[in-house]
DNA sequence: GCCGAGTGCGCAACCGGATGCACGGGCAAG
DNA sequence: CTTGCCCGTGCATCCGGTTGCGCACTCGGC
C-alpha cells in the first residue's frame, strides 16, 4: 500500500511536507497542498494509524472492560445500553472502542493491564460487577487513566460515574407514600453490593423523611433474581404485619415478587415498584412501576469524562451521580 | 516507560537479542535468556504492542461492525450473544476486539474502511442488518479479509456464517406434523430479507416432504414485531379454513400471535412455534415453543473462520451453515 | 591440523509517520 | 542596498520494536 514516501515522491516534495498536509498544518502553500492532495488521491493513499500512534504516543482508542460471569454478561440489557452510550461519545470524538469481555476479576486484571501496558489503548472504562481493588491499585500506581462506571464500590481517589442509588430508594418510597401507603416493605439485594446498600439506605431515608418509623419486619432480601424476589415477597407477607406496598431493589426481583403476589391474588392489593425499567416490566400484568436508570447517559458520561482526562493529561478524581426517573405503571398506580 | 533498549543496556546485550528473547527465538543461550528476563523484571518492562504491530504489519485485533438503527441495535439479545461468541474465540487466540456500532450503511462503510485502511485491524466481521453491497465490493476490491455473519443476503464469492434458515422452517413444520397437524399456517417475515425467504421456503419444503399440498391461504406475513404477528394471526384465523397450528418466523411475531390467540381463547386450540428462543418465550403463558438459533456458535465460528483466513493469508470464500435446535414448550406440546 | 557446520549474538536497515531545526528566498523597513 | 523577519519546505532524528545477514567462536570428523 502507498506510504507517505510514495506520495511525497509523486508530488515532488519531502515526506515531512506530506505529513504536514495531513495534519492540516498551516505554513503550506495552497499549490503544494493541492499537489499533495491529488497525489494522495491518485495513489489511493490512506495514512497508517498504527505508525501515527507510535509517533504520537497515543492510539485514539479506549478500552472497555465488561466483567461478568460469561452467561450473565450480556443477557442484562444494561451492558448493551451502556456500550451504546459510550460509543456515541467515542465515535463522535474520533476515538475507537476496544471491547474486552472477561469473566473473572483475575482475567479482568490481566487483560486490562495488558492493554494499557502494551499502549494499545489510551485509557479504560471499567464496568465491573464487583470491584477488583488490586486492579484499581495497579491502575492508580501506574498512572493509567480510567473511569469506573455502574455498580461499583465507593472508594475515594478515583473517578467514577454512577447513578444515584440512594435517590432511587427515596423516589420509590416517596411515590408509594404519595399513594397513601405507610407500611412499605423492602426487597433488597445482596448486602455486599453497594447498589443494594445505597438503595436500602435511600429506602430508609424516604421513610424517615415522612416521619415513618423504621420497622425491620418490613425488610427482606435475596439475590437479584426472580426466585429471590419471589421468596422474599412470600416471606414479607407471612410476617405478622405485612406491608401494603413493596419496593424491590431490582426488576428481576420485582417480577418474581409479582408472581408471588399473583399466586396469592394480591396483585391489586399490594403496590409494587422495581428498578431498571427492564423491558419485561412493561409486559407483565399488571405492568410494573419501576425506576429507570439512565444507562445510556451513564456510558456517555463515563466516556466524556475519560476523554476529558486524556485531553488535559492531569486529572483529579471526581465522582458523577446521575439522576433516575420514576416510571409509574399499573402495579402502583392506585391509591390505598 | 522502559523500552527494549533500556532492557538491552541493563542486560548488557543488543536490542535485537532482547527482541529474540521476547519472541521465544531459539539460538539464545540459557544464561543470556535469564539475564534478559531479569532485566525486564527489574525495569518492569512491557513490550509496546503498537511498535510491534508496525514492525510486523499486523495488529492482532479484529473489528466487529454492528450496523443497526441505534435504538434497536442492542435491545435484541442477538448481538450481545454474538459478541460473546466472537470474543470467546478471539481472546483465546490472543486477539483483541474493536467494536463499532453504526446506525446506517453509509456510516458502516466509512468506519469500516477507515479501520481497515488505517491498518488498525487485521480483518472485520460484519453483522449488518441489510447488506451494503458497496461496502462488500470495496472490501473485495481492496482485498481486506472479512466475514459476514447473521442475517445477510446470499451473495457468492464471499465468506459467510449463518444459521440454516431453511432447516428452521422444516424443523418447525416437521414437529407440528408429528403432533398430528395437517393445516399448518405460516406467519412469515418481510419478504425482502433472506431470513424470511429461507424460512418460508423451509416451511413449504416441510409440508411437501409430508405430502401436504401447499395452500396459499395458510400464509400471512408482516414485520418482525409483536404487532405484525398479532395482525397476521387474526388474518389467518379469519380465512375460510383456518390452520390448527402456526409457524411464526420470529419470536416477537410469535408472541404477538399468542396474544391474538388468547384474545380469542384459542391458545390451547392452535399450536404455535416461533424462532429465536427469545427470553420472552419462556415467560409467556403458555410458554412458546421455539427454534433456538446457535447465536453464540455463529459468532465463534465467524471469528474462527476469520482467524483462519488471516493465518494462511490466502482465502477462498466459503459459507458455513449452522444447525438450530427445536425447543418444545407448552404452546405446541400437545397432539391434535 | 584443517575444514565445514553449527551456535550465539550484534549491526544496521526497516516498518510509516511526526516534528524540531535550519535553510533559502521574498519582502518591508531602515 | 543592507538588515531582519517570516514563509514554505527539506533534512535528520525519533517513536519502539523486528529481522536478514554476517561475524566470531566452538566442536566434531577426517
Q: Tens digits of per-residue pLDDT, A62-112?
A: 999 998 765 554 556 778 889 989 999 999 999 999 999 888 888 899 999
Closest CA to A63 of A137, A134, A128: A128
pLDDT at position A193 is 78
A20 touches strand D (CB under 7 A): yes
Beta bridge partners of B161: B149, B320
CA pair distance A272, A254, nearest whole angstrom: 7
φ/ψ of B41, rounded to 5, equals -60, -45
Residue B55 pLDDT exceeds 80: yes
Q: Mean per-residue pLDDT for B263-267? A: 93
B17 touches strand C (CB under 7 A): yes
Whether A41 and chain B come into contact, CB under 8 Å, resolves to no
Q: Mean per-residue pLDDT for B260-281? A: 91
Place of cell 443477557: A75
What are the CA-CA distances from residue A29 to residues A4, A41, B1, B88 (Å)? 18, 18, 39, 51
Q: Mean per-residue pLDDT for B105-112? A: 91
What are the CA-CA distances from residue A210 to residues A174, A176, A177, A275, A328 (Å)? 8, 11, 8, 21, 20
A31 touches strand D (CB under 7 A): yes
**With bands split at pLDDT 50, 70 and 90, how would you rate the model's confidence at B304?**
very high
For residue A84, give the nearest of B50, B70, B83 by CB distance.
Answer: B70
Q: What is the pLDDT along chain A (336 residues), one digit of tens a residue?
A: 889 999 999 988 889 889 988 888 767 778 888 888 999 999 999 999 999 999 999 999 999 999 876 555 455 677 888 998 999 999 999 999 999 988 888 889 999 999 999 999 999 999 976 667 789 999 999 999 999 997 666 667 789 999 999 999 999 999 999 999 999 999 999 887 788 899 999 999 999 999 999 999 999 998 888 889 999 999 999 999 999 999 999 998 999 999 999 999 999 999 999 998 887 787 788 999 999 999 999 999 999 999 999 998 777 888 899 999 999 999 999 998
Q: Is the peptide bond before B332 cis (omega within 30 degrees of 0)?
A: no
Count of beta carbons in the 10 Å neighbourhood of residue A99: 21
Could you tell me how far CA A215 lies from the centroid of its own chain? Answer: 33
Q: Is the peptide bond before B180 cis (omega within 30 degrees of 0)?
A: no
Contact B187, B333 (CB under 8 A): no
A4 touches strand C (CB under 7 A): yes
Q: Mean per-residue pLDDT for B22-41? A: 86
> Per the structure block, which three cell numbers stand in for B230?
398479532
Residue B12 pLDDT exceeds 70: yes
The whole model's pTM is what?
Answer: 0.88
Whether B105 and chain A come into contact, CB under 8 Å, resolves to no
Sort out which chain B residues have CB atoms less than 8 A from A77's CB and list them: 74-75
Count of beta carbons in the 10 Å neighbourhood of residue A183: 17
CA pair distance B273, B245, nearest whole angstrom: 8
Yes or no, beta carbons of B118 and A73 under 8 Å apart: no
pLDDT at position A69 is 66
Whether B117 and chain A come into contact, CB under 8 Å, resolves to yes
CA pair distance A244, A184, nearest whole angstrom: 6
pLDDT at position A300 is 97
CA pair distance B250, A60, nearest whole angstrom: 40
pLDDT at position B72 is 54
Whether B264 and chain A come into contact, CB under 8 Å, resolves to no
Three-state DSSP class for residue A248? strand
If residue B292 lies in a helix (H) or strand (E), which one and from where to where?
A: strand B289-292
Strand duo B96-102 + B61-67: pairing: parallel
Closest CA to A331 of A290, A291, A292, A288: A288
Sort out which chain B residues have CB atoms less than 8 A from A101's CB and list them: 83-84, 87, 91
pLDDT at position B70 is 55
Strand duo A61-67 + A123-128: pairing: parallel
A336 touches strand C (CB under 7 A): no
If residue A185 lies in a helix (H) or strand (E), which one and from where to where?
A: strand A184-188
What is the spatial distance, in angstroms and rounded to an integer, between the CA atom of B25 and the C1' atom of C5?
A: 20
φ/ψ of B261, rounded to 5, equals -60, -40
What is the spatial distance, in angstroms and rounded to an integer, between the CA atom of B55 and the C1' atom of C14?
A: 8
Show Cβ contacts of residue A210 under 8 Å, excluding neighbours closer than 6 positions: A173, A174, A177
Yes or no, beta carbons of B70 and A59 under 8 Å apart: no
Sort out which chain B residues have CB atoms less than 8 A from A115's CB and list them: 96
Count of beta carbons in the 10 Å neighbourhood of residue B139: 21
Could you tell me how far CA B300 lies from the centroid of its own chain? Answer: 9
φ/ψ of A66, rounded to 5, equals -110, 110
Sort out which chain B residues have CB atoms less than 8 A from A112's CB and list them: none
CA pair distance B265, B267, nearest whole angstrom: 6
What are the CA-CA distances from residue B26 to residues A165, A205, B22, B37, B313 (Å)? 57, 67, 11, 15, 25
CA pair distance A324, A168, nearest whole angstrom: 7
What are the CA-CA distances from residue A179 to residues A104, A182, A200, A218, A251 (Å)? 43, 9, 20, 18, 20
φ/ψ of A283, rounded to 5, equals -100, -25
* Crossing angle of helices B133-141 and B105-117, rounded to 10°: 10
Quickly list DSSP for A284-315.
SSSPPEEEE--HHHHHHHHHHHHHHHHHSS--
pLDDT at position B260 is 93
CA pair distance B324, B219, nearest whole angstrom: 23
Three-state DSSP class for residue A74? coil
CA pair distance A301, A245, nearest whole angstrom: 34
Strand duo A184-188 + A245-248: pairing: parallel
Beta bridge partners of B49: none
Contact A169, A264 (CB under 8 A): no
Place of cell 384459542: B266
Q: What helix, strand, coil percent values describe chain B, rounded to 5?
A: 50, 15, 35
* Crossing angle of helices A194-209 and A165-178, rounded to 10°: 40
What are the CA-CA distances from residue A23 to residues A5, B27, B53, B179, B283 (Å)? 15, 44, 22, 69, 56
Beta bridge partners of A325: A292
Q: Radius of gyration (Cα) for chain B, nearest Å?
A: 26
**With bands split at pLDDT 50, 70 and 90, how would you rate the model's confidence at B280?**
confident
User: Which nucleotides of chain D are near protein (any atom < 7 Å from a CB)?
Assistant: 7-12, 14-20
φ/ψ of B242, rounded to 5, equals -65, 155
pLDDT at position A32 is 84
Yes or no, beta carbons of B99 and A80 under 8 Å apart: no
Q: Mean per-residue pLDDT for B110-136? A: 89
For residue B101, give the nearest of A87, A279, A280 by CB distance.
Answer: A87
Q: pLDDT, tens digit, for every residue of B158-175? A: 899 999 999 999 999 999
pLDDT at position A116 is 96
Count of beta carbons in the 10 Å neighbourhood of residue B145: 20
Contact A233, A249 (CB under 8 A): no
Closest CA to B81 of B94, B70, B96, B66: B66
Yes or no, beta carbons of A118 and B49 under 8 Å apart: yes
pLDDT at position A195 is 84
Could you tell me how far CA B32 lies from the centroid of its own chain? Answer: 48
Contact A226, A248 (CB under 8 A): no
The burial class, CB within 10 Å (0-12 / 13-18 / 19+), for A30 is exposed
Q: Which residue lies nearest C6, CA-to-C1' measured?
A: B27
CA pair distance A189, A249, nearest whole angstrom: 6
pLDDT at position A240 is 94
Amino acid at each position: 500500500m502507498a506510504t507517505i514516501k510514495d506520495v511525497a515522491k509523486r508530488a515532488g516534495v519531502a515526506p515531512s511536507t506530506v505529513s504536514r498536509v495531513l495534519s492540516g498544518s498551516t505554513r503550506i502553500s495552497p499549490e503544494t497542498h493541492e499537489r499533495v492532495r491529488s497525489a494522495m488521491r491518485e495513489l489511493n493513499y490512506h495514512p497508517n494509524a498504527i505508525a501515527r500512534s507510535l509517533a504520537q504516543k497515543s492510539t485514539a482508542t479506549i478500552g472497555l472492560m465488561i466483567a461478568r460471569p460469561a452467561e450473565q454478561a450480556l443477557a442484562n440489557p444494561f451492558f448493551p445500553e451502556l456500550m451504546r452510550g459510550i460509543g456515541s461519545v467515542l465515535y463522535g470524538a474520533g476515538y475507537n472502542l476496544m471491547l474486552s469481555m472477561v469473566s473473572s476479576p483475575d482475567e479482568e486484571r490481566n487483560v486490562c493491564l495488558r492493554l494499557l501496558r502494551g499502549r494499545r489503548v489510551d485509557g479504560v472504562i471499567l464496568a465491573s460487577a464487583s470491584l477488583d481493588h488490586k486492579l484499581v491499585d495497579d491502575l492508580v500506581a501506574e498512572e493509567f487513566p480510567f473511569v469506573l462506571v455502574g455498580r461499583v464500590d465507593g472508594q475515594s481517589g478515583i473517578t467514577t460515574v454512577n447513578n444515584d442509588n440512594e435517590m432511587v430508594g427515596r423516589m420509590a418510597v416517596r411515590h408509594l407514600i404519595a399513594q397513601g401507603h405507610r407500611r412499605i416493605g423492602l426487597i433488597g439485594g445482596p448486602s455486599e453490593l453497594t447498589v443494594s446498600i445505597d438503595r436500602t439506605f435511600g429506602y430508609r431515608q424516604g421513610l424517615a423523611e415522612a416521619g415513618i418509623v423504621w420497622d425491620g419486619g418490613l425488610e427482606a432480601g435475596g439475590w437479584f433474581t426472580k426466585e429471590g424476589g419471589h421468596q422474599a415477597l412470600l416471606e414479607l407477607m407471612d410476617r405478622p404485619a405485612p406491608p401494603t406496598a413493596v419496593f424491590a431493589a431490582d426488576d428481576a426481583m420485582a417480577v418474581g415478587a409479582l408472581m408471588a403476589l399473583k399466586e396469592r391474588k394480591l396483585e391489586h392489593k399490594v403496590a409494587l415498584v422495581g428498578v431498571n425499567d427492564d423491558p419485561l416490566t412493561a409486559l407483565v400484568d399488571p405492568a410494573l412501576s419501576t425506576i429507570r436508570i439512565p444507562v445510556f447517559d451513564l456510558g456517555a458520561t463515563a466516556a466524556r469524562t475519560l476523554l476529558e482526562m486524556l485531553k488535559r493529561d492531569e486529572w483529579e478524581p471526581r465522582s458523577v451521580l446521575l439522576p433516575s426517573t420514576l416510571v409509574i405503571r399499573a402495579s402502583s398506580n392506585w391509591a390505598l
